[in-house]
Amino acid sequence: MNRIHKSIAAIAVASTVALSTAGCTIISTHPAERAVHVTGGFIIPADQKVDSCVNPSKVDTAPLGHDYFVYPAGERTYKFSTDQGADGGAVTIVKDNIEMQVSGVVTFSLNGDCETLKQFHALIGTKMWNGKPAYVNGDNYEGWDAMLDVYLEQAIQSAATAAAAQVKASSTEIYNGAGRAELEKMMTELVPVYIKALSRGDFFSSIGLVVNKPAIARQDVRDALAAKTVAQMQNEAQVERNKAITTEMQSIKELINTLGTDGYIAYTQNKLTQAQIDLLAKAIEQGKVQVLPVPSGTGVTLPVGK
């Protein structure tokens, strides 16, 4: 893929300068760059050796014939999505036989430990990725991008597949949001594992992940999930209504036990005798009944049993 990460593209404005003057090679790294120093011979051939590293915002010199290879430093992002300009495609998961596309962003850093960076350069950086090396060549990041397509994109897909199989959340919960945090947490744990397995080293660090709302291509599946959600909400509302009815029935029973049938009728009509009012007040004081409005929306109070 011919892409330049937005987070890296700005490096081109103040790109690494490597000059050969007065018999030496000079490098000045950008704040978002790190380099490895490779020895060699200019006049007398000599075996190349990955010798040392140059940290961000540093100047370094070496004898003529030595080389510096530059890599991005600091946090980087990898967007996997169907959006135009994304670094990689959305990944597909299947849960409860429902296929969903998951998009999001992975944040990461290239491990800045010098020994690790030297290994990365030798094993991965100098390999050809779509015909380009993974180190930065001026403002050309094509090899770097192609390398990420292998190690990050494949790791994200593998992590998503494994996470979908392991999480307890249903497809409805993942799609509607309640189970998305569980999927995201599991993927965050698995992505570094798969990256390390693919690259065979601790070359990437500080890996984080954010998952967006999944997408379902099939309209009939989306409609079915929406109907299921509505039905669940209606059932929950009915349960609450049933609880209210049960409470009201218990209230009526307690009131009849206290005032008698005639007293209850008089009470509901708000025509209690003084004796009934005294009896009710005593029952409330002793905690035998509590009061609540009945009928609903009126100022009349109705005792409720504990």
CATH number of domain containing 148: 3.30.479.30
Helical (H) or strand (E) element with 131: none
Q: Are residues 208 and 147 in the same domain?
A: yes
Please determine, for residue 104, whether its predicted confidence score (pLDDT) is greater than 50: yes
Q: Has residue 125 been placed in a domain?
A: yes
Domain final position from 217, 238, 268: 217
Q: Has residue 138 been placed in a domain?
A: yes
Domain of residue 36: give its range. 6-72
Q: Are residues 212 and 93 in the same domain?
A: yes
Q: What is the pLDDT of residue 208?
A: 96
Q: Has residue 170 been placed in a domain?
A: yes
Domain final position from 72, 99, 129: 72
Q: Has residue 1 been placed in a domain?
A: no
Q: Are residues 157 and 229 in the same domain?
A: no
Q: What is the pLDDT of residue 276?
A: 65
Q: Are residues 129 and 68 in the same domain?
A: no
Q: What is the pLDDT of residue 288?
A: 64
Please determine, for residue 82, whether its predicted confidence score (pLDDT) is greater than 70: yes
Nearest Cα to Cα of residue 102 among 41, 148, 161, 146? 161
The pTM of the whole model exceeds 0.75: no
Q: What is the pLDDT of residue 15?
A: 40
Largest CA distance in the chain: 119
Q: Are residues 97 and 191 in the same domain?
A: yes
Domain final position from 17, 46, 72: 72
Q: Has residue 82 been placed in a domain?
A: yes
Q: Which of 42-51, 59-68, 167-176, 191-200 shows the lowest per-residue confidence on average (mean pLDDT)?
A: 42-51
Cβ atoms of 163 and 187 closer than 8 Å: yes
Q: Are residues 109 and 226 in the same domain?
A: no
Percent of residues, the chain, with pLDDT higher than 70: 68
Q: Are residues 94 and 192 in the same domain?
A: yes
Q: Has residue 252 been placed in a domain?
A: yes
Q: Has residue 31 been placed in a domain?
A: yes
Q: What is the mean pLDDT of the chain?
A: 79
Q: Are residues 15 and 142 in the same domain?
A: no
Q: Which of 65-69, 85-89, 273-277 shows the lowest per-residue confidence on average (mean pLDDT)?
A: 273-277
Q: What is the pLDDT of residue 270?
A: 63
Query: With DSSP H G I counted as helix, E B as strand and the rest as coil, what are the percentages for the chain, rounded to 5?
Result: 45, 25, 30
Q: Are residues 26 and 51 in the same domain?
A: yes
Q: Are residues 158 and 230 in the same domain?
A: no
271-280 pLDDT, tens digit per residue, is 556 666 677 6
Nearest Cα to Cα of residue 249 among 302, 300, 285? 302
Q: What is the pLDDT of residue 236?
A: 62
Please determine, for residue 4, whether its predicted confidence score (pLDDT) is greater than 60: no
Q: Are residues 203 and 164 in the same domain?
A: yes
User: Into how many domains does the chain fold?
Assistant: 3
Cβ atoms of 209 and 105 closer than 8 Å: yes
Q: Which of 94-103, 115-124, 194-203 shows the lowest per-residue confidence on average (mean pLDDT)?
A: 94-103
User: Would you call 144 exposed, middle or buried from its count of C-beta atoms within 10 A (0-12, 13-18, 19+)?
Assistant: buried
Residue 76: beta bridge partners? 108
| Radius of gyration, CA atoms only, the chain | 35
Q: Are residues 197 and 145 in the same domain?
A: yes
Q: Has residue 40 been placed in a domain?
A: yes
